[in-house]
Amino acid sequence: MTQITLALTKGRILKETLPLLKKAGIEPVEDIFASRKLVFPTTIKGTRLLILRGSDVPTYVQFGAADIGIAGKDVLLEDQGDGYYEPLDLGIARCQLMTAVPKGVSSHNGRLRVATKYINVARRFYAEQGRQADLIKLYGAMELAPILDLAHEIVDIVDTGNTLKANGLETRDHIADISARLIVNKAAFKTKFNAIQSIVNSLSKSVSI
């Protein structure tokens, strides 16, 4: 029997993924949110779920520890991995990757200081803009960086924009539209093609419903 391991992103993406999986006939046999476990068998024999941090999902898939993964496009853009395919946009957890600056402040002349956790994405973006930028890696509370003069602007995920407004910031440049994507390990797609393609097809139908 073919064993399929599906890596899921905890948090908002997980909450929006589980209904899609259910439509596709894949359900964990116990309540994920009531357990501290990280591995869950499912109603499909031989198919199990891993619950991971979003930034770890591409790594698990790229190196074959998971056959399939679901991660935000922001994570995939930052990861730049080449060990997986991206066959399906699940259309969930939609948001935007943008720059943000203090409200009413005009563009900074000269070399920028930019705070972000998306170092690779930001480096490519500012290079394409022909702008010099020093990138400062932060993992959270990004909105504080401009307020405390740590950075001139930030690159971050924007959903409603309410957190930015509450901290006196406004969006400026759009970098990418973000949603959750299905990724598949390249080697597994060859060796477990039928099982994986069946899941991809089922999820594709779930998305279109």
Helices (H), the chain: 12-23, 57-62, 73-79, 119-129, 144-147, 162-166, 186-191, 193-208
From 125, 75, 120, select the one nearest 98 (Cα to Cα): 125
pLDDT of res. 37: 94
Q: What's the pTM value of the predicted model, to 2 decimals?
A: 0.92
pLDDT of res. 2: 85
Bridge partners of 116, per DSSP, are 137, 155
**Distance from the first to the final alpha carbon of the chain:** 30
pLDDT tens digits, one per residue of 133-175:
999 999 989 999 999 999 999 999 999 999 999 999 999 999 9
pLDDT of res. 110: 85
pLDDT of res. 97: 98
| Domains of the chain as residue ranges with CATH | 4-93+179-208 (3.40.190.10), 95-177 (3.40.190.10)
Question: Token match 């699940």: residue?
Answer: 90
Q: At 29, phi and psi to the nearest 5?
A: -80, -5
List of the chain residues with pLDDT < 50: none
pLDDT of res. 209: 65
**Pairing assessment for the beta strands 153-158 and 112-116 based on DSSP bridges:** parallel
Which residues lie below 8 Å from residue 82, measured CB to CB, with a gap of 6+? 62
